[in-house]
Each structure stands twice: as structure tokens, then as C-alpha cells.
Amino acid sequence: MKQMLSIALPKGRLGESVYKIFENIGLACPEILENSRKLIFENEENAVRYFWAKPSDVAIYVEHGVADIGIVGLDILLEQKPDVFELLDLELGKCRIAVAGKKDALKGADRKLRVATKYPAIASSYYAEKSREIEIIKLNGSIELAPIIGLSDVIVDIVETGKTLKENKLFVLEEICDISARLIANRSSFRFKTEAIENLCENLRTRNSGVEKEKIQ
């Protein structure tokens, strides 16, 4: 009998793209695409159970073992440092973490820099490495507001298309790192459901290299 895999998907566009990939490699659960507010979906035949989780909570479900695997942005892994296995770079949801602000926001390098962010750990370690004294202002969204209305000098945030910065007359001032979606697994699930999880990884790897080939030809 196949081992049932519980998968935490990040609610939203990334989660839907990932589900479609999983569907293509034999883990379909069609009900999930019906427009409903249901959060858990199961397909016994394919031995799979999906959850829709808030993207920043995916690693929590996986770390606690209520999901065997999950899909999470590298930003969340760097910020939360969950105790999970990182298995694969899905090369989806690509973006970067950057310092952004008004053009001259970094002038006056000796004063304490006010940094607004939803990534306090990433921002702190970035500035600790540069030995720059900062004050973190933790926000939960619409981070770009902070430097515009004078709450902070800069922000440390995700930049994907750059549209939000552009429309708010802000600029990338420093790049911190590239981000993409990662497949993670609970440590004991990986031990007890090794075959199911390794098969899944292998299918995803084969699929990724197939996609690469298609692009090259």
C-alpha cells in the first residue's frame, strides 16, 4: 500500500503552480482547484492530502510533522530557520531580497539606520555582517509605506517585478540574496516515508531537467 503524504501548500499563485506540477507527476487531487474556502483535500487513490496554509506558516506545519512536506520560499527558511530538511530548489517563485528606499537614503553612514521589514532576522544578520548599527521596525505588510511617510530610512523586503518600488518612487539600494521556492520535509517523515518522499523528489528533478531541455532546444 502507498504511504499517504501530507503536503502543505502556500495559499496563492505559487501554491497553485506547485499543485499543477504535483498533479502532473501523479499526485492529483482535482477537488483542490474548485473555488471553495475548504482548506484540506484528500485523494486516497493517489495517497495524498493537501493543506492550504498561509505561506509564512508552511514551515511551522512541516516542522511540527502535521505535514510531511511543504513548499516554502527561501526567505521564510532564512528568517524562521525551521528544523526541517530542505530537499529541492523548485526554481519557481523567483525573486530577491533587497534593501530599498529613497535614492539618498543611505547617506550619513554614521547614524543609526531605521530599517522597516517583515524579515527582522535577515535584516539583522545582513547589517551585523556590515557592522552597521540599525533599529529594526517590524511590519507585517505594505512595507514600502515606511520610507515614504518617514517611519524608516530603508526597507528590507522582497522585490519580484520591481513594480511596487517603481510606483512608490523607491529604488533598490543593495541586493541581499536571491530567493526561490524550496521543497522541505519533516525530519521524521523523511525517515518513515523515505520511499514516497524520494520518489516525489526524483520525479520533480526529472521534470525540472526536462523543462530545462525544452528551453534549450
Judged by CB under 6 A, the residue of 162, 168, 180, 201 near ligand PRP is 162
Binding region for ligand PRP (CB under 6 A) out of 36-44, 82-90, 122-130, 158-166 = 158-166
Considering only residues 128 through 147, tell me which ones interact with ligand PRP, judged by CB under 6 A.
Answer: 141-144
Q: CA–CA separation, 111 vs 188, rounded Å?
A: 47
Regarding 120 and contact with ligand PRP (CB under 6 A), the answer is no
Residue found by looking up cell 506558516 in the block: 57
Residue with nearest beta carbon to ligand PRP: 141
Identity of the residue, 62 or 170, whose beta carbon is nearer to ligand PRP in the bound complex: 170
Q: CA–CA separation, 66 vs 62, rounded Å?
A: 6
User: What is the 3-state secondary structure of 91-102?
Assistant: CCCCEEEEEEEC
- Phi then psi for residue 137, to 5 deg, are -115, 110
Please list, residue by residue across 157-176, b when 16 or more beta carbons sit within 10 angstroms of its beta carbon and e when fewer do: bbbeeeebbeeeebeebeeb
Regarding 188 and contact with ligand PRP (CB under 6 A), the answer is no
Regarding 161 and contact with ligand PRP (CB under 6 A), the answer is yes
Regarding 206 and contact with ligand PRP (CB under 6 A), the answer is no
Residues that bind ligand PRP (CB under 6 A): 141-144, 157-164
